[in-house]
Amino acid sequence: MTCPEELDPTRLLTPRAREVLAAARAVLERQGWEALTMRTLADELDIAAPSLYKHFASKEALRGQLAALALKEFGEAVRPVTTVAALVRRYRDVATAHPQLYRLSTSGPLDRAALPPGLEDWSGSPFLEATGDPHRAQALWAAVHGMVVLELDGRFPTGAAPEATWRELVRHFS
């Protein structure tokens, strides 16, 4: 399901700012947040670094846009909600397909003022739809998030997230 237009973080960006955002995402996914500098981004776009500031005031402003974009894409990826199992599978798939974007948007402080009002709630609402209770929804998201991070970090003893553990998580919340 597509994100409502009024929540789309890119709707007010100029075409050039969207191009900068796409290039920033490409560098992020290839090299990680620490490697993404305004200089590396300018090199990616083959432009002078100072011209980036016409579109984004700072690297942190760019981070806010990337986090908002992630919330939009993750929210779209898990809809429509049919079952807890389908929600968890889709969430896991999109997070592991875009690990750097996932980490950027789900770890550390979130600049909520940089998000379109309502985007964070819209993005997380599938967890509420699946569980029917706001606290249970947060618990499910926290469990799924923790499992995704363990999987991304290779922290399960087998080196990969055991499917039996994912099934148990789903069973517990279904």
Identify the structural domains of the chain with CATH numbers, from first to last.
5-173 (1.10.357.10)
Among 143, 132, 142, CA closest to 166: 143
pLDDT in tens, the chain (174 residues): 899 999 999 999 999 999 999 999 999 999 999 999 999 999 999 999 999 999 999 999 999 999 999 999 999 999 999 999 999 999 999 999 999 999 999 999 999 999 999 999 999 999 999 999 999 999 999 999 999 999 999 888 876 768 889 999 999 999
DSSP per residue over 87-127, as a string? Answer: HHHHHHHHHHHSHHHHHHHHSS---GGGSPTTHHHHHHHHH
Enter the tokens of residue 74.
Answer: 């993750």
Strands (E), the chain: none
Residue 44 is which amino acid?
Answer: E
